[in-house]
Amino acid sequence: MIGERLWRWRVALMVTVVGVYAAVMRFGTLGFPTELVFDEVFYARGGYSLVELGFEGEWGGDNQDFAHGDFSQLSDEGDFVVHPNTGKLLIGLGMKVFGPTPFGWRVMGALVGVAACIILAMTARRLFNSTIWGTVAGVLLAVDGEHVVLSRAALLDGYLTFFIVLGFALLVTDRFRTRDRLVTAAARERAEYGWGDEVRLPGGGPHLGMRWWRLAAILAFSLSVTVKWNGLYFMAAFLVLSVVFDWYDRRAAGYEGWFAGAFVRAIPAFLATVVILPVVYLASWIPWFTSENSWGRHWAEDNPGQGLTWLPDGLNSLIHYHQQMWDFHRGLDTPHNYESNPWAWPFQWRPTAFYFEDAPDADCGAERCVSAIHAIGEPLIWWTAFAVLLYALWRIIRHRDMLALTVSLGYLAAWVPWLPFAHRTIFTFYTVTMSPFVVLLLVWAMQRIAQPARLDGAWSTRGLAIVGVFLGVALILAGFFTPIWTGEPIPFRYWQAHMWLPSWV
């Protein structure tokens, strides 16, 4: 009886387990440190300015005045900022509800971080057709250091990751629903003609009407671009994958014109994208348009005859502003102690230290106590995932493995576009967008080990033991690294024990 109830409520149990685990990791001592850590100095203050002034004003004084409750240094002069508004508006919303406190400027990031873990668990459950593997995926993301740290800090990349995971989940849902409808339509056609499964069907397959899930995915990816521009990489990669899904599924359903059938039906999605993306992106700049003191708001009026003069002054000014932003990003080559080469990102070679201070008042049981926050991905998870990626690429090339392509594409979209910019000042914490797909790659590999294809879905005792040991070690390591993800005061020697590589110090 108990077993039957658990089985009936298995999805709710999965969501509860993942949600609680993720919330404990992200909300515990969220108000510490009380200072602005790393780039919170830009985004927490920017979020506050957006909800208080309606635009991002310049800040004077010491960077930490804001953290100490002094907001008098905010001026009504527009500040030159180099990222869109959505992430900062969400940060500002947290402060509007909970006040301009450390908890207030971090709470929305923690909330969407928990949501991302749950959404990934639901998506993995669908991909691997298993609530168990969905739970494993959600828990692994819940304890990954990159995702934990970026969920607990008022930076933009955690929000970017949330919208990417949401868009991916919606596209996966679209794929499975569309495939089921294709299979049903093909079976109906064969029944009408009296044909067997071995006979190819004429045409490219049914139209299937409006695909609302894919439309919702386009909206989610568009929102990711309104957080940071590199959301475009994921949007392009996954929308192309959606077309590949259609090719694969129409061919599997037995339609002779599978290529043309999927290509033609991708045209409405393309047209929807070229409409939705600009509209959503422009909507995210409404605070800029409606504020007289926004940076560069009146550039076109002050420089008649320059820029795209055929556009309204507001749009002309915004485009010029974006040219300035692009020039800033392209020329960002200022040496930084924690800059990292993207070729080494899969190994977390040079993780970003967000915070490091002595904690003389802490009772950590040692002569010297420190509080540190390092955005280090859980090493066993990340290092193993890179080996799995190589195997997945082999599976894609050799066996056209669609599931391998699905779980590895996000990893590549988060990594490969940055490789040409190795000369730029960039940081390992950007890999937080890679974290969900690191986890999916691992779960894909674990399922193949624990439930090998030769057993037709049955469990392998040896494989299950290997996976169980791996998960146990991974969770133990996560517990070991948790203090340097959350900033808990620890003995200095215990902190040193976490610095496995010289590049981590």
User: CA-to-CA distance for 415 and 396, rounded, in angstroms?
Assistant: 18
352-358/74-78 β-pairing: unpaired
pLDDT band of residue 210 (cuts 50, 70, 90) is confident
pLDDT band of residue 421 (cuts 50, 70, 90) is confident
User: CA-to-CA distance for 76 and 53, rounded, in angstroms?
Assistant: 8
Concatenated DSSP letters of 352-398: EEEEEEE-TT---SSSSEEEEEEE---HHHHHHHHHHHHHHHHHHHH
The pLDDT value given to residue 2: 62
Tens-digit pLDDT profile for residues 293-347: 899 999 999 999 898 989 999 999 999 999 999 988 887 777 778 889 999 999 9
> Are the CB atoms for 137 and 187 separated by under 8 Å?
no
List the Cα angle 470/476/479 in 5-degree steps: 140
The pLDDT value given to residue 199: 81
Residue 149 has pLDDT above 80, yes or no: yes
The pLDDT value given to residue 6: 63
User: CA-to-CA distance for 151 and 290, rounded, in angstroms?
Assistant: 30
Residue 493 has pLDDT above 90, yes or no: yes
> Are the CB atoms for 291 and 54 separated by under 8 Å?
yes
The pLDDT value given to residue 124: 98
Residue 348 CB burial class (10 angstroms; 0-12, 13-18, ≥19): buried
* Those residues with Cβ within 8 angstroms of residue 118's Cβ, 6 or more apart along the chain or in another chain: 15, 18, 19, 22, 138
Residue 247, CA distances (Å) to 126, 188, 401 in order: 20, 20, 14
pLDDT band of residue 430 (cuts 50, 70, 90) is very high
Average pLDDT score over residue span 3-23: 85
> Are the CB atoms for 87 and 43 separated by under 8 Å?
yes
Here the tokens at position 349 are: 């070679």
Average pLDDT score over residue span 472-495: 96
Indicate the length of the chain as a whole number: 505
Torsion of CA 310, 313, 315, 316, to 10 degrees: 60
- CA 149 remoteness from chain centre: 13
74-78/57-59 β-pairing: antiparallel
The pLDDT value given to residue 1: 54
Q: Please identify which residue in the block is written with the tokens 């510490």.
A: 32
φ, ψ dihedrals at 288, nearest 5°: -70, -45
Q: Please identify which residue in the block is written with the tokens 């040896």.
A: 462
Q: Where are the alpha helices (DSSP H) in 129-156?
A: 131-142, 145-151
User: CA-to-CA distance for 152 and 225, rounded, in angstroms?
Assistant: 21
User: CA-to-CA distance for 82 and 410, rounded, in angstroms?
Assistant: 25
The pLDDT value given to residue 33: 94
Lowest mean pLDDT among 31-45, 92-106, 194-208, 437-451: 194-208
> Are the CB atoms for 435 and 25 separated by under 8 Å?
no
Residue 216 has pLDDT above 70, yes or no: yes
490-491/369-375 β-pairing: antiparallel
Residue 125 has pLDDT above 70, yes or no: yes
What does DSSP assign to residue 75? E
Task: Using the Cα atoms of residue 348, residue 380, residue 454 and residue 172 in order, give the sign of their dihedral.
Answer: negative
* Those residues with Cβ within 8 angstroms of residue 309's Cβ, 6 or more apart along the chain or in another chain: 300, 316
The pLDDT value given to residue 112: 98
Average pLDDT score over residue span 387-399: 96
* Those residues with Cβ within 8 angstroms of residue 117's Cβ, 6 or more apart along the chain or in another chain: 18, 19, 21, 22, 138, 141, 142, 147
φ, ψ dihedrals at 353, nearest 5°: -90, 115
pTM for the predicted model, two decimal places: 0.96
Here the tokens at position 194 are: 């009296």
Q: 436: cis peptide before it, omega within 30°?
A: no
Average pLDDT score over residue span 17-45: 94
The pLDDT value given to residue 150: 97
User: CA-to-CA distance for 376 and 109, rounded, in angstroms?
Assistant: 18
List the Cα angle 347/353/355 in 5-degree steps: 155
Q: How far apart are the first and last CA of the chain?
A: 54
What's the order of all strands across the beta sheet hosting 369-375?
352-358, 369-375, 490-491
Residue 238, CA distances (Å) to 96, 167, 436 in order: 34, 9, 14
* Those residues with Cβ within 8 angstroms of residue 142's Cβ, 6 or more apart along the chain or in another chain: 18, 21, 22, 25, 117, 148
